[in-house]
């Protein structure tokens, strides 16, 4: 299924300036892997060996995936995944 | 040395002022003994900028920018002070505006924490939220649009271009460090956000303590979690920033800065914010690399400024 990933400004140098990228994926993990395939190097900016890096927030639609099933959070067709820097420890900007 | 054996005289009476704006500055310096033990005879000094009345180093710049603008007529009765800020400068503007009777409007990215937003509202400042996907640069652009639409209404303080920002540190932070550490100082490590602290302090120290080596510090990556610091290669460069002013530039990973902030809280009782953790990590690396170094850095703000509500608290009104 097709999902849209919203890319924050600091990572757009890796996506040739694109602020949104469409990928085929059914989980957050697969979506990030698909993003990495299109734009090599971007995954390390978002994830470390333990999962999503501590200062990065990833939202599936309007929900922080830390409160869902983290990287295994399932996605549906036309879902929107947002990568948001947690610059202040993270209030929910999409609420 | 154990901290309890410190021979410092603690009997000096408190200072008395007519306004909170005079209580800005003259912050203490504390040595980081647990880190020093891992060096070859180096001392690491942390200047506690969170002891400023607004809780951060930004009090200095905000006070100087407001006082200079009042003095030369850029800020006149009836005008509102406006600026974009990721937080601490906003708190400082809000505090100084309240103290001096000046209306304040602040543009912040919407992902600035709810408690931070609540602090500036507590001082009576107006809060304007910008797109979180565009970060602090998006807040700058949004603020410029607001000012362009009503230039007579606003004094655009613009901490990124305002020479009074580094001037504050030339006039206060630099001389204080000179007086507190003096000629034994070998290195200073200063994180760069607007670059005001680094530019003003470094210029002062290079002139008055020419043997001191001045290092500027920034996040190692464009996407980072060191709020208040800028990754210059991927950011709008502040007009007040001159990369030739420091002797050297160093970079710190977000995780190293966060971990150091946690460590310092537990081992020294100094609960500092993430950018301060990065500063201390940078100073620690310098102190380890140079035997008998005397390294100073600053604690920009306190860690409790970064507590954010957990999920079950989301609807709690701060």
DSSP alpha helix (H) spans, B46-162 = 58-72, 88-100, 114-122, 135-149
Considering the domain architecture, whether residues B214 and B287 belong to the same structural domain is answered as yes
Tell me if B310 is assigned to some domain: no
Considering the domain architecture, whether residues B27 and B64 belong to the same structural domain is answered as no
Over residues B41-98, the pLDDT tens digits come to 999 999 999 999 999 999 999 999 999 999 999 999 999 999 988 688 999 999 999 9
Q: Which residues of A touch B255 (CB under 8 A)?
A: 48, 53-55
Q: At residue B272, does pLDDT exceed 80?
A: yes
Tell me if A16 is assigned to some domain: yes
Considering the domain architecture, whether residues B167 and B278 belong to the same structural domain is answered as yes
User: CB of B178 within 8 A of CB of B143?
Assistant: no
Q: Which of A9, A48, A89 sits opposite B134 (nearest CB)?
A: A9
CATH of the domain at A60: 3.10.20.30
- pLDDT for the residue A92: 36
Tell me if A94 is assigned to some domain: no
Considering the domain architecture, whether residues B88 and B235 belong to the same structural domain is answered as no
Over residues A37-78, the pLDDT tens digits come to 999 999 999 999 999 998 898 999 989 998 899 999 999 999
Considering the domain architecture, whether residues B258 and B139 belong to the same structural domain is answered as no
- Where b means 16+ CB within 10 Å and e means fewer, B25-55 reads bebeebebeebbeebeebbbbbbbbbbbbbb
Tell me if A92 is assigned to some domain: no
Q: Which residues of B touch A46 (CB under 8 A)?
A: 223
- Predicted structure pTM score: 0.89
Name the residue of chain B whose CA is nearest to A47's CA: B223
Q: Which residues of A touch B221 (CB under 8 A)?
A: 10, 45
Considering the domain architecture, whether residues B96 and B168 belong to the same structural domain is answered as no
Over residues A2-34, the pLDDT tens digits come to 999 999 888 999 999 999 999 999 999 999 999
- pLDDT for the residue B48: 98
- pLDDT for the residue A95: 33
Please identify, among B139, B156, B173, the residue that sits at the C-terminal boundary of a domain: B156
- Of A63, A67, A58, A66, which is closest to residue A31 (Cα–Cα)? A58
As given in the structure block, the two tokens for residue B87 are: 């937080």
Q: Do A87 and B308 touch (CB under 8 A)?
A: no
Considering the domain architecture, whether residues B135 and B245 belong to the same structural domain is answered as no
Tell me if B91 is assigned to some domain: yes
The complex's ipTM?
A: 0.83
Phi then psi dihedrals of residue B272, to 5 deg:
-110, 165
Considering the domain architecture, whether residues B205 and B301 belong to the same structural domain is answered as yes
Grade residue B179 by pLDDT with cuts at 50, 70 and 90.
very high
Tell me if B312 is assigned to some domain: no
In chain B, how many domains are there?
2
Alpha carbon distance B46, B30 (integer Å)? 5
Over residues B190-204, the pLDDT tens digits come to 999 999 999 999 999
Considering the domain architecture, whether residues B221 and B275 belong to the same structural domain is answered as yes
Tell me if A29 is assigned to some domain: yes
Alpha carbon distance A70, B242 (integer Å)? 42
Domain that holds residue A79: 2-85
Mean pLDDT of B219-229: 90
Considering the domain architecture, whether residues B278 and B168 belong to the same structural domain is answered as yes
3-state SS, residue B202:
helix
């Amino acid at each position: 299924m097709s999902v849209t990933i919203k890319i924050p400004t600091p990572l757009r140098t890796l996506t040739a300036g694109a602020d949104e990228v469409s990928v085929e994926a059914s989980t957050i993990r697969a979506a990030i892997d698909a993003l990495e395939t299109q734009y090599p190097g971007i995954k390390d900016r978002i994830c470390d060996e333990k999962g999503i890096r501590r200062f990065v927030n990833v939202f599936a639609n309007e929900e922080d995936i830390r409160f869902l099933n983290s990287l295994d959070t399932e996605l549906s067709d036309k879902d929107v995944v947002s990568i948001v820097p947690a610059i202040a420890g993270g209030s929910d900007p999409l609420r | 040395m154990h901290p309890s054996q410190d021979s410092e005289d603690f009997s000096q009476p408190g200072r008395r002022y007519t306004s909170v704006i005079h209580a800005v500055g003259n912050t203490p310096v504390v040595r980081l003994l647990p880190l020093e033990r891992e060096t070859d005879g180096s001392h690491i000094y942390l200047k506690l900028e969170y002891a400023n009345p607004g809780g951060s180093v930004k009090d200095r710049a905000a006070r100087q920018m407001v006082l200079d603008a009042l003095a030369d007529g850029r800020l006149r009765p009836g005008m509102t002070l406006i600026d974009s800020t990721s937080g601490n400068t906003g708190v400082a503007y809000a505090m100084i505006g309240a103290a001096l009777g000046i209306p304040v409007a602040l543009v912040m990215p919407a992902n600035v924490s709810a408690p931070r937003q609540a602090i500036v509202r507590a001082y009576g400042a107006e809060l304007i939220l910008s797109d979180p996907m565009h970060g602090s640069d998006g807040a700058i652009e949004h603020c410029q649009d607001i000012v362009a639409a009503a230039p007579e209404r606003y004094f655009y303080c613009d901490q990124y271009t305002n020479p009074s920002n580094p001037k504050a540190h030339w006039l206060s932070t630099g001389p204080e460090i000179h007086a507190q550490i003096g000629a034994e100082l070998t290195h200073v490590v200063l994180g760069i956000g607007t670059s005001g602290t680094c530019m003003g302090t470094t210029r002062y120290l290079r002139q008055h303590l020419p043997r001191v080596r001045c290092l500027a510090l920034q996040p190692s990556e464009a996407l980072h979690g060191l709020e208040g610091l800028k990754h210059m290669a991927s950011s709008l460069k502040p007009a007040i920033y001159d990369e030739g002013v420091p002797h050297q530039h160093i970079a710190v990973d977000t995780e190293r800065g966060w971990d150091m902030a946690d460590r310092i809280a537990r081992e020294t009782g100094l609960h500092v914010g993430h950018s301060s953790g990065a500063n201390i990590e940078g100073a620690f690396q310098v102190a380890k690399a140079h035997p008998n170094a005397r390294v100073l850095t600053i604690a920009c703000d306190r860690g409790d400024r970064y507590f954010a509500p957990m999920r079950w608290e989301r609807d709690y009104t701060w």
